[in-house]
Amino acid sequence: MTRRHQLTLTADETRLLAHILNNGSPAEARRARIIQLTAAGLPQFAIAAEVGLSERQVRRWQRAFENKRMAIFRGRPTAAPDSPPAAEQRERPPVPSESESAQVEVIPPPPGVEAPRRKLRLAKKPGVLPDDPMSEAGRKILHFHFERMLLHEPGSRLGEDIEAVHDMRVATRRIRSAFDAFRAFYRPKAIRPFLLGLRRTARRLGAVRDMDVFLEKLAAYQASLSPEQRESLEPLVAACQNQREIDRARLIAHLDSRDFAMFVETFADFLKTPGAGARKARRRHGRPVAYQVRHVAPRLIYERYEAVRAYETLLDEAPIETLHALRIEGKRLRYILEFFVEVLGPEAKPVIEEAKALQDHLGSLNDAEVAGRFLQDFISQYERSQIGVRIAERRSIEGVIQYMAYQFAEKHRLTATFPETWAHFNRAEVRRALALAVAAL
């Protein structure tokens, strides 16, 4: 279903948006363009492709404009002048001559700052076909998610919307998962550099995203507290915000690096070259070897499903490490189904939803576990940092200790309720739907 957002602008808003588009910062200009295109009646996917953001980010600014109107542009007037004021005209510097212009070095921003670093096609689907060779089906899927990774680079750099880093990280994860699924159909030497580049990028994105999630959940917890209780959490908030800035600086340095630029260029060449890096389909002991999607996908899907079902015998007394491993296997099952959803039966979509529910529950459990360990370490480090500080000047972190207790309680709740989530996933109806989905091949 094509999503459109109804929006009407006043004459002043129309003039001011045009002014911001021509004179504002890159982020402000992009925001103004979203509002202009929305008022023109364009669907969200078309706006997203035009401005180089995700549909989710476009919806966010559309809703923000509905609520705040021109206040979404910080420090901007709420009405636009019909023409620049005389004072502004007088203050404009003189236009340099050609000889003066030639002496001025104009340094463009690094690629991926104001817009995606490559022209993106942004197809709605990868376009996988049942008779595609697995290497070429993999190439289509890799290209689909590679474009999404590049699409969210400008937003990840900007840092205004934490979902941009999330979306770029998810795209990177899906690329890595696709390589895991299709690895057997490429020469190892051909894909090894891409796996290394993806791992480096995923590590930088993961550090920022993990701290974004921690701060977001901490803010939600703080909102439920009294002012006095919130104050005792300030040392934790300050430390996390500082760490986030460090992680963001490392991420941007990585995105600016020659290594990342080389990775993007070589990977793009690989993806647009049919047959690049592919292993040839050969006979084995005189017998044909399956290489088309219709022949190979059923095995890959059931291998992933088998890996998840194998945990059934361990769950009664499973430690947190086992549940974490199950979460990873559940994610791999979900991704393999999403990769082939175009060629599977319609029953694949509810199975994907079941796998997602399993993954979400275990993901929240993992977040609580990681947060609890992080808070334990923070409390220990904070206590050591107070050595040598006068007793009268030491700050209470009672709120941090209470938040740690909250995270451990959340971990217990999610562990105790997991059997219900597992039972829902492990139903005969899900197995039947999976069989029917695969039977379409």
User: pLDDT digit string (tens) for 283-311?
Assistant: 777 788 899 999 999 999 999 999 999 99
Q: Is residue 373 part of a domain?
A: yes
pTM tops 0.85, yes or no: no
Of 64, 63, 72, the C-alpha closest to 28 is: 72
Q: Tell whether 165 and 266 lie within a shared domain.
A: yes
* 83-to-15, 36, 136, 346, 362 alpha-carbon distances in Å: 10, 20, 56, 57, 58
Q: Tell whether 426 and 303 lie within a shared domain.
A: yes
Q: Tell whether 36 and 77 lie within a shared domain.
A: yes
More confidently predicted of 386 and 109: 386
Q: Tell whether 349 and 390 lie within a shared domain.
A: yes
Quick one: how many helices (H) and strands (E) in the chain? 18, 0
**Residue 65 sits in which domain range?**
11-82
Q: Is residue 91 part of a domain?
A: no
Q: Tell whether 256 and 322 lie within a shared domain.
A: no
Query: Which residues lie below 8 Å from residue 204, measured CB to CB, with a gap of 6+?
Result: 247, 250, 251, 254, 255
In this prediction, residue 3 carries a pLDDT of 58
Q: Tell whether 225 and 305 lie within a shared domain.
A: no
Confidence check: pLDDT of 347 > 50: yes
In this prediction, residue 219 carries a pLDDT of 92
SS (H, E, C) 272-317: CCCCCCECCCCCECCECCCCEHHHHHHHHHHHHHHHHHHHHHCHHH
Number of domains in the chain: 3
pLDDT band at 130 (very low <50, low <70, confident <90, very high): very high
* CATH code assigned at 422: 1.40.20.10
Q: Is residue 15 part of a domain?
A: yes
